[in-house]
Amino acid sequence: MLNFTLEKRPSDSKTMSYLSPIFAIVLTLVSGGLLFTLLGKDPFHALYTFFILPLTDIYGWTELAVKVAPLTLCAMGLMLCFKAKIWNIGAEGQFILGGLGGGYIALELMNAEGFWVLPLVLLFGALSGLLWAALTALLKTRFGANEILTTIMLNYIALNWLLYSVHGPLKDPDGFNFPESALFSEFATLPVLSDDYRLNISIFFALFAVAAIWALMSKTLLGFQISVLGEDKAAARFAGFKAERLTWFALLTCGALAGLAGVSEVTGSIGQLNPYISPGYGYAAIIVVFLGRMHPVGILFASMLLALTYLGGEMAQMDLALPKSLTGLFQGMLLFYLLACDLLISYRIVRKPSARLTSSSSSNSAQA
């Protein structure tokens, strides 16, 4: 008789916390293979198409970097919030607002020329994201409103505001009534690294954010205070750390980074405003943070994997004639398996014979 049970570990397993993402990835691949088989495809070929084929040429790698940049920017901001146990689900909305705010300025400065245009557009985009996050911070610190609810609601408002804008006031007058803005001027467009590819300098913004947030969290008192606030509110209060200020700081920083991601996306690879400026980067970034173990370097790698699921989805659509929503499916499976495997950080599986057997044997002897 095999009888397994979960037993709490005396202390959390460091090894397991690193192994868990790997287990999750393996399980996701196995489940994905199973799924492809059920859909009547050769699982190995399908997985190859989804995960390897997109990276077989330089173009594929640059496209990966195009998607890594916004994911990493959003994820670094979210990491700051999650470290403080502020469950900001609103990177998506902050991303959209960043794109919308920056895009608006870019359209206003359509005829302006000069190198000051782009920085202004980027700044305004970041500020828009920051202000969107400020709403959540205000509601949380002032009224104790749950940030999970407010950020999700603000995501929908942001999306609808974008839709209204591109269907209405910001619609390109010469655009044949398509819900799109005009293309931005070259002065409001992020420079690309090479004319052959779409990859632009936003990848440097992302790498800079990784370095900055890593330094903040590991080297500064402010980062330490954020960690303490997340780990133990009572201790933070006892030590005299100001919870409200830290909450504001984490949310505003996240808003600014997500906003920067948004404005970089519209001034970079998209070049205009349209209803689809985010394929759910703000949500995928949540998975990135947890998969990357809340560590900046881990997050960078996790961003690459999540970026790959976008490329893989497109590839599967083209080569296998499967729907692009596979991307969401793989992202969902990844998070699901990760959360399941994370259980093993604090618990271990043991075979449990003892307690039940002793008590039943003692009652047997009572009868005897």
Query: In the complex with another protein, which residue's Cβ is closer, 177 or 354?
Result: 354
Q: For residue 295, which amino acid is it?
A: H
Q: Is 71 helix (H, G, I), strand (E, B) or coil?
A: helix
Query: In the complex with another protein, which residue's Cβ is closer, 167 or 295?
Result: 295
Query: In the complex with another protein, which residue's Cβ is closer, 168 or 240?
Result: 240
The secondary structure element, H or E, covering residue 5 is strand 4-8
Least Cα distance to 31 among 326, 342, 292 occurs for 326
**Distance between CA atoms of 137 and 115, rounded to whole angstroms?**
34
**Least Å from the CB of residue 247 to another protein:** 16
**Least Å from the CB of residue 357 to another protein:** 10
**Least Å from the CB of residue 12 to another protein:** 8
Q: How many CA atoms lie within 13 A of 129 on its CB side?
A: 36
**Distance between CA atoms of 22 and 74, rounded to whole angstroms?**
23
Name the site residues for another protein (rule: CB under 8 A).
Answer: 7-12, 219-222, 224, 227-228, 231-232, 234-235, 237-242, 354-355, 358-359, 362-363, 365-366
Query: In the complex with another protein, which residue's Cβ is closer, 196 or 232?
Result: 232
**Distance between CA atoms of 36 and 198, rounded to whole angstroms?**
31
**Least Å from the CB of residue 233 to another protein:** 9
Q: Longest C-alpha distance within the chain, in Å?
A: 98
* Partners of 81 in beta bridges: none
Query: In the complex with another protein, which residue's Cβ is closer, 104 or 214?
Result: 214
**Least Å from the CB of residue 86 to another protein:** 17
Cβ 237 vs Cβ 247: under 8 Å: no
Integer CA distances (angstroms), 59 to 46, 190, 244, in order: 20, 19, 46
* Residue whose entry in the numeric block shows the structure tokens 């979210």: 78
Rg (CA), the chain: 24
**Least Å from the CB of residue 151 to another protein:** 25
Query: In the complex with another protein, which residue's Cβ is closer, 13 or 317?
Result: 13
**Least Å from the CB of residue 137 to another protein:** 20
Query: In the complex with another protein, which residue's Cβ is closer, 58 or 350?
Result: 350
